Amino acid sequence: MNDMTSPTALRRPFPDACLAALRAIVGDRLSVAQAVREHHGHDESPYPDVLPDAVIFAQSTEEVAAVARICNTYHVPIVAYGAGSSLEGHLLPVQGGVTLDMSGMNAVVAVNAGDFTATVQAGVTRKQLNEYLRDTGLFFPVDPGADASLGGMAATRASGTNAVRYGTMRENVVSLTVVTADGRVVRTARRAPKSSAGYDLTRIFVGSEGTLGLITEVTVKLYPQPEAVSAAVCNFPSLGEAVDSVIEIMQAGVPVARVEFMDEHAVRSVNRYSKLDLRETPLLLFEFHGSTAGVQEQAAAVQAIVHEHGGMDFEWAHRPEERNRLWAARHNAYFAGLQLRPGCRSSTTDVCVPISALAECVRETARDLAAAPFPTTIVGHVGDGNFHVLMLLDPDSEDEWQASERINHALVRRAIAADGTCTGEHGVGLHKMGFLAEEHGEDALELMRGLKHAFDPNNILNPGKIISW
Amino acid sequence: MNDMTSPTALRRPFPDACLAALRAIVGDRLSVAQAVREHHGHDESPYPDVLPDAVIFAQSTEEVAAVARICNTYHVPIVAYGAGSSLEGHLLPVQGGVTLDMSGMNAVVAVNAGDFTATVQAGVTRKQLNEYLRDTGLFFPVDPGADASLGGMAATRASGTNAVRYGTMRENVVSLTVVTADGRVVRTARRAPKSSAGYDLTRIFVGSEGTLGLITEVTVKLYPQPEAVSAAVCNFPSLGEAVDSVIEIMQAGVPVARVEFMDEHAVRSVNRYSKLDLRETPLLLFEFHGSTAGVQEQAAAVQAIVHEHGGMDFEWAHRPEERNRLWAARHNAYFAGLQLRPGCRSSTTDVCVPISALAECVRETARDLAAAPFPTTIVGHVGDGNFHVLMLLDPDSEDEWQASERINHALVRRAIAADGTCTGEHGVGLHKMGFLAEEHGEDALELMRGLKHAFDPNNILNPGKIISW
């Protein structure tokens, strides 16, 4: 495991000649100002800040390619930066170098409504895209908690509350424009719905966290806005009964669009933060998409199942405002949780297990949490077998940090033992590197390392992340 | 483009010491008999046979690993062989060496019904798996024309008639057990429904056609058998109207499970071969999956759309026997087509385009075919923008072969110009290698080549396929 000490000893030289060559390309869109570097040396992880040597605000794929060629020549690291919302230290430039801020590359390049695809620059955020699509009758479903950039979402293989129905970035990226370590521009696939034409370059870059190439454009799948949408909240006497309901719903093949779990602590935090009055017990939050008849059918099937598991107060939210308020509250669960302990440092876990192992995994985790010396919440995309524990730590207490790490390790080992993964959606970054050998085995890591060496022989792309060089 | 001359000049030495070492591992499950080598030197492509030096009938992952270690030491090629149904020359051992017949590795390892996954050895065929699943209420949807092996289907990123609703092997492989070129055994992923834990090794091997590793086990997604299934056939005055209907159905977001196109020649061949009496005009064959109400809803939506496009005789096939007969006929369309010209050599095309480009692409292709000096049929998984032309050639006519290649090239270029792909599901093999640069660009091919070199430094895994060394 990585500890909290950032490996600043690994910083590489940043030659003046490199700085000059970069300035010649991007002019005053390169900054070495302390405030700008600080802003880009910080994410939502529990790690301390690590500052880049310089920040470049990119404007085009060609410019990114020119920057890559220069950095590759000087062996200077490049870290791509989207919305700064990563949770495991992905964007911390642990070996120094250039942070490439993609937020200015935020144009929607094309919406091909007839083909259900949109092509956007990497800095476009998921909310921006959906705002743009509003009048087309289409939407883009992948929704991590933060309003992340599409480039960042592709890079971390993000998902969110809709994944149970619509899939993750793995399923929803059609094609990428990628700048390679040596500054070539590659489009990974065409827009055809399927292809058997060679190696799946798209899926190689999705989830590669900026270590194999720099994503500058993303083509994603779109979906028709459903004719009918309905949401419901249901409380449960215990966590186990809520999770067991989800397992039965999935096994019955009900095509729920969303099914989210919150434990009583999460509900309390959300009530306070979003001024709701949800009953403070474990609860499930559902959404159903389909035709009017289809939605009713799904809801009836779900209602019958939750009733058998002691579900109480199955409450409908039919009106869009009501629904949006509930889902906004769910999306803000992370920020709501932070408010349970003002001034805290947070650590989040992110395991995902086969659904048959979910109930046991959540129950054992809750047992660990009951003994924790700090406040915690559990929320989960439980339809996918994915859940998070948010741990709210005293920033000055090494004991609390160590206790949180012990809980995290125990949880990851429990998930791996159940044929699950150490990260369902947050990614590896720095914090999960130590678990990959346990999850995949050394031989699989050796293949990953071979891929990294082939695609980035000078190790300039987000070095020190995912796997050791 | 490759021509029909098989590059036998490229055969590598097959040292006696290698043969002896292999025999020491597999005993009399290694054969050098002419008949066995002939059987394994032949696929459904238009290429002449190319014989391996030896055939090994594999029995376990560990044995495959031992074989790989030996072949890697002697730089002897290994070609994995499943059901022998590949269409583009994938399995022809153009550099000689060992063909590894996986058909004996045909055990269903585990069915995790609660998690909707099954793990099988690579030699299990899709029909065998579905037979095995019959009483579980689950099924595996991916259905290429042939009763292919799951290992082969993963290796070619196969799809079929259900892909429009359930996805291809890209979406349906959860995890693979793979033997690397140097004989290590890697499991590419856990069974969790999603993961962000490192590079997507699973998707790297899916579609790699045996050039990056040897797939020995496959874990796939399963789906609940739908509560209700209904099928329908609809005739159209012209090909254009049939295809336009499909485009509108997809754009309306109707979740059809299958929508297949046949031109009048394909219908005629199927009528003869499967003793049906379908009206011999362009037709669409639909299947709807869902609840009883859902299926009716889908069918009504489709019926309204086809009616607007001149669809005639919308005929239902409600009874399972009737439906199965129709779909068996569709699956046999390739063999039915061959009977239009007994003794012919066939060549199949396999483009896939964004759905908005489909009508124009099919129309222009039909124009080319009208001038062809041989019989042809068009069939297509048109809901995915994927269609095939079957060309029935006089095996002794070089002119006909050249004419078929011109049609294929024109079609591929048309597809690529429309942002489509040279192969939707058949794979690259030998026949499509020449198109990959046009489709992906040289820089993308260079990345693919880097991956190949990293995973198979001695080029022993199905050498001479997908990309040149």
| pLDDT tens sequence across B295-306 | 999 999 999 999
Question: What's the CA gap between B384 and B373, in Å, rounded?
Answer: 29
Q: In the predicted model, is pLDDT for residue B3 greater than 60?
A: no
Rounded mean pLDDT of B195-209? Answer: 98
- Which of B112, B253, B294 is the closest to A356 by Cβ? B112
Dihedral sign for Cα A329, A330, A332, A337, please. positive
Question: Between A292-308 and B292-308, two packed helices, what is the crossing angle to 10 degrees?
Answer: 170
Question: What's the CA gap between A144 and A166, in Å, rounded?
Answer: 13
Question: What's the CA gap between B217 and B119, in Å, rounded?
Answer: 7
Residue B44's pLDDT is 87
B359: closest CA of chain A, how far (Å): 13
- Which of B180, B208, B384 is the closest to A447 by Cβ? B180
Q: What is the mean pLDDT of chain B?
A: 95
Strands B228-235 and B283-290, by their bridges, are antiparallel
Instruction: Tell which wins on pLDDT, B172 or A43.
Output: B172
Dihedral of CA atoms A26, A32, A36, A42 in degrees, nearest 10, equals 110
- Cβ-Cβ contacts under 8 Å, B113 against chain A: 251
Whole-number percent of chain A with pLDDT over 70: 98
Interchain contact, B252 vs A224, CB within 8 Å: yes
Rounded mean pLDDT of A420-444? Answer: 97
Residues comprising chain B, all counted? 469
Rounded mean pLDDT of B276-296? Answer: 93
Q: In the predicted model, is pLDDT for residue A453 greater than 50?
A: yes
pLDDT-based confidence at residue A314 (cuts at 50, 70, 90) = confident
Whole-number percent of chain B with pLDDT over 70: 98
Identify the CA nearest to A358 among candidates A332, A379, A384, A336. A384
Q: In the predicted model, is pLDDT for residue A81 greater than 50?
A: yes
Instruction: Tell which wins on pLDDT, B293 or A448.
Output: A448
What's the distance, CA B30 to chain centroid? 28
A389: closest CA of chain B, how far (Å): 17
- Which of A180, A197, A386 is the closest to B421 by Cβ? A197
How confident is the model over A135-149, as pLDDT tens digits? 999 999 999 989 999
Question: What's the CA gap between A228 and A295, in Å, rounded?
Answer: 7
Rounded mean pLDDT of A215-236? Answer: 95
Q: In the predicted model, is pLDDT for residue B39 greater than 60?
A: yes
Least confident of A1-15, A107-121, B229-243: A1-15
Q: Computed over its alpha carbons, how large is the radius of gyration of chain A?
A: 22
Interchain contact, A196 vs B440, CB within 8 Å: no
- 3-state SS assignment for residue A224: strand
Q: How does DSSP assign A324-385, residue by residue?
A: HHHHHHHHTHHHHHHTTSTT-EEEE--EE--GGGHHHHHHHHHHHHHT-SS-EEEEEEGGGT
Q: In the predicted model, is pLDDT for residue A214 greater than 80?
A: yes
- Which of B116, B171, B453 is the closest to A454 by Cβ? B453
Question: What's the CA gap between B280 and B278, in Å, rounded?
Answer: 6
Burial class (CB in 10 A: 0-12, 13-18, 19+), A108: middle
- Which of A191, A297, A355 is the closest to B291 by Cβ? A297
Interchain contact, A198 vs B291, CB within 8 Å: no
Interchain contact, A192 vs B427, CB within 8 Å: no
Question: What's the CA gap between B378 and B401, in Å, rounded?
Answer: 18
> Maximum distance among all alpha carbons in chain A?
70
Per the listing, tokens 């880049």 go with: A52
- Cβ-Cβ contacts under 8 Å, B446 against chain A: 184
**Most B CBs within 10 Å: which of A111, A112, A157, A194, as the mutation test of the B interface?**
A194
How confident is the model over A98-127, as pLDDT tens digits? 999 999 999 999 999 999 999 999 999 999
Name the E strands within B189-336: 214-221, 223-224, 228-235, 258-262, 283-290, 312-317
pLDDT-based confidence at residue B8 (cuts at 50, 70, 90) = low
- Cβ-Cβ contacts under 8 Å, A173 against chain B: none
Question: What's the CA gap between A454 and A446, in Å, rounded?
Answer: 12
- Cβ-Cβ contacts under 8 Å, A196 against chain B: 156-158, 207, 350, 421, 423-428
- Cβ-Cβ contacts under 8 Å, A444 against chain B: 186-188, 201
Helix (H) or strand (E) holding A31: strand A30-31
Whole-number percent of chain A with pLDDT over 90: 90
Interchain contact, A207 vs B199, CB within 8 Å: yes
pLDDT-based confidence at residue B9 (cuts at 50, 70, 90) = low
Residue B314's pLDDT is 84
**Most A CBs within 10 Å: which of B162, B195, B452, as the mutation test of the A interface?**
B195
Residue A456's pLDDT is 98
Interchain contact, A194 vs B384, CB within 8 Å: yes
- Which of B187, B200, B466 is the closest to A207 by Cβ? B200
pLDDT-based confidence at residue B461 (cuts at 50, 70, 90) = very high
How confident is the model over A162-187, as pLDDT tens digits? 999 999 999 999 999 999 999 999 99
Interchain contact, B194 vs A386, CB within 8 Å: yes
Least confident of A414-418, A462-466, B72-76, B309-313: B309-313
Question: What's the CA gap between A98 and A71, in Å, rounded?
Answer: 8
- 3-state SS assignment for residue A47: coil
- Cβ-Cβ contacts under 8 Å, A158 against chain B: 196
**Most B CBs within 10 Å: which of A153, A195, A412, as the mutation test of the B interface?**
A195
Residue A137's pLDDT is 93
- Cβ-Cβ contacts under 8 Å, A447 against chain B: 180, 186, 201, 454-455
Buried b (16+ CB within 10 A) or exposed e, A119-152: bbbbbbbbebbbeebeeeebbbbbbbbbebbbbb
**Most B CBs within 10 Å: which of A246, A413, A447, as the mutation test of the B interface?**
A447
Conformation bin of residue A115: beta by default, left when phi > 0, alpha when psi is -120 to 50: alpha
Q: In the predicted model, is pLDDT for residue B227 greater than 50?
A: yes
How confident is the model over B317-328, as pLDDT tens digits? 878 898 988 898
Interchain contact, B355 vs A385, CB within 8 Å: no
- Which of A198, A352, A355 is the closest to B448 by Cβ? A198
Burial class (CB in 10 A: 0-12, 13-18, 19+), A69: middle
Question: What's the CA gap between A335 and A226, in Å, rounded?
Answer: 29
**Most B CBs within 10 Å: which of A136, A199, A382, A449, as the mutation test of the B interface?**
A199
Conformation bin of residue A133: beta by default, left when phi > 0, alpha when psi is -120 to 50: alpha
A138: closest CA of chain B, how far (Å): 10
pLDDT-based confidence at residue A454 (cuts at 50, 70, 90) = very high
Residue A318's pLDDT is 78
Contact assessment for residue B148 and residue B83, using Cβ atoms and an 8 Å cutoff:
yes
Residue B251's pLDDT is 85
Residue A8's pLDDT is 55
- Which of A117, A354, A448 is the closest to B115 by Cβ? A354
Question: What's the CA gap between B441 and A264, in Å, rounded?
Answer: 54
Q: In the predicted model, is pLDDT for residue B1 greater than 80?
A: no
Q: In the predicted model, is pLDDT for residue B176 greater than 80?
A: yes
A131: closest CA of chain B, how far (Å): 20
**Most A CBs within 10 Å: which of B199, B256, B414, as the mutation test of the A interface?**
B199
Least confident of A145-149, A454-458, B9-13: B9-13
A17: closest CA of chain B, how far (Å): 28
How confident is the model over A318-372, as pLDDT tens digits? 788 989 888 988 988 999 999 999 999 999 999 999 999 999 999 999 999 999 9
Residue A9's pLDDT is 63
Residue B194's pLDDT is 97
- Cβ-Cβ contacts under 8 Å, B156 against chain A: 196
Domains and CATH numbers, chain A: 108-224 (3.30.465.10), 228-418 (3.40.462.40)
Instruction: Tell which wins on pLDDT, B277 or B313.
Output: B277
- Cβ-Cβ contacts under 8 Å, A448 against chain B: 198-199, 201
Q: In the predicted model, is pLDDT for residue A242 greater than 70?
A: yes
Strands A376-381 and A386-393, by their bridges, are antiparallel
> Maximum distance among all alpha carbons in chain B?
70
The span from the first CA to the last CA of chain B, in angstroms, equals 16
Whole-number percent of chain B with pLDDT over 90: 90
Compute CA distances B267 → B234, B284, B346, whole Å: 12, 10, 18
Residue A381's pLDDT is 95
Question: What's the CA gap between A462 and A55, in Å, rounded?
Answer: 14
A191: closest CA of chain B, how far (Å): 6
pLDDT-based confidence at residue A95 (cuts at 50, 70, 90) = very high
CB-defined contacts A:B, below 8 A: 281
Give φ, ψ of A311 to 5 degrees: -60, 140
pTM score above 0.90: yes
- Which of B197, B353, B444 is the closest to A186 by Cβ? B444
Interchain contact, A436 vs B247, CB within 8 Å: no
Interchain contact, A170 vs B194, CB within 8 Å: yes
Contact assessment for residue B54 and residue B30, using Cβ atoms and an 8 Å cutoff:
yes
Interchain contact, B207 vs A194, CB within 8 Å: no
Q: In the predicted model, is pLDDT for residue A77 greater than 90?
A: yes
Interchain contact, A423 vs B195, CB within 8 Å: yes
Burial class (CB in 10 A: 0-12, 13-18, 19+), A239: buried
Residue type, A371: A
